[in-house]
Every structure is written in structure tokens, then in C-alpha cells.
Amino acid sequence: MTFHGFGDGLVPFYEGLEADNSKAYWSDHKATYDSEIRAPLEALLADLEPEFGEGKVFRPYRDVRFSKDKSPYKTHAAAVIGMTADGAGQGMYYLQVGADGLMVGAGMYEMARDQLDRYRRAVSDDVAGAALQRLVAGLDAAGYQTGGHDQLKRAPRGFDPEHPRIDLLRQKGMTAGRVFEPDDRLHTPQCRELVKSTWDELRPLNAWLAAHVGATALERR
């Protein structure tokens, strides 16, 4: 299946789901999700697989076990490349679509303890750390949002609070991404080019992470 764009029903579907996040709404509109959102998303991943690797579409159901918000469905569709064994430690490529448009990103959202240790040692290194600092500064200037899922309020233990790259050292992950507001491109093959060109721009970030952080040796919980 070739990717031709997401269906016109994508934005109305998620606007409706945000207003009525219920099993009844989902059941009544599941055909729209299957044909106009999930199927095109799978086609997009297949189109990009030869260049970026095997992708995975996330389940549309929220994990509500430990959340006060018991809404059963995610209000976006998302996919990732780099979760397979072949892509481990390389940094991931990510995208999601919803009522607010298309979000495209890359990097390591959350690092395991051994990865975080290697990341901090690399950031503190004058050569590797300066290279990441230049990368992040360039992405910030280009309009990307950079950072991890969380950051320390203070310097990590054993690191100088006055370190010239203290902002990077405090991060618990390192990603970059940008949002494209919903417009006609979302529903045409041009959407593929938006994703591809963004991921191409983020290749150096993933390459730095692959070289200096790599895959975790710890077992997943």
C-alpha cells in the first residue's frame, strides 16, 4: 500500500474523541480510525522503512492503571522507528498525528541508568559534549523543541554546577521535535516529505546518541 496522505476524517475524528472519550464514540467511529488514520500511518511507515528501518504503530488504548485520568483512548495516533533489536541504541524516530496536526521527532526520550551515565560522561567531555551542544543549539535555532522527558533541578552528583553544559547534563533524555499544524499537506503525499525531511535533519542527533550512549544493558521492567 502506497502512502497518499491521511484521510480527511482524521482531524474531525480526534476532535470528536477529545470531546467524547468513550467506548461508544470509539465503536461508532472505529471505521474512520482504521481506514483514514491507522492504514495510512502503516503505509507511511512502509514507505520509509527502506531508509529508516522497521516501524511500529502504538496501540490506541491508554494505560490507565496508575493514572487519575481514566479516559480509555489516546487522542493521537503515534508510531516509532528504532524499537527493534536492530535499532537499539541508535536513537528513535517518532511521529504522531491528531487534531493539532503532525508532530515529528527523534532521539532518546528517557534513558536507562547505564545510558544516562554514558550520556553525562559524553556531555562533560570537551569534544563530544561540545559537539552535542552545537547540534542542540542549531536545532533550537531551526525551531525544534529539544530536551528529555524530565530534567534535574540541580547538577547531577559528581558534576560541577558551573559546568558550561550544565543544562544538557541535567537532562534525563535528549530529543528534538517539531509540530506542523493541520493543513492540506496532512492529506497528501507531501506529508511523507515533511516526515522524511524532518527525520533527515535529526539524523545527526541520533548518530551522536548511537556513538556516545548506545543501547541499555539493563533488563526492561
- Could you tell me how far CA 7 lies from the centroid of its own chain? 22
Residue 5 included in any domain:
no
Residue 33 included in any domain:
yes
Mean pLDDT over all residues of the chain? 93
Contact 9, 42 (CB under 8 A): no
CATH number for the domain spanning 135: value is 3.30.930.20
Domain count, the chain: 1
Contact 153, 166 (CB under 8 A): no
- pLDDT tens track for 54-104: 999 999 999 988 888 899 999 999 999 986 555 456 789 999 999 999 999
- Find the mean pLDDT for residues 147-176: 93
Whether the pLDDT of residue 221 is over 60: the answer is no
First vs last Cα of the chain: how many Å apart? 36
> 173-186 burial string, b = 16+ CB within 10 Å, else e?
bbbbbbebebeebb
Q: Kindly report whether the global pTM for this prediction surpasses the value 0.85.
A: yes
The number of helix segments (H) and strand segments (E) in the chain equals 7, 6
Q: Which structural domain, as residue segments, surrounds residue 73?
A: 10-212
Residue 110 included in any domain:
yes
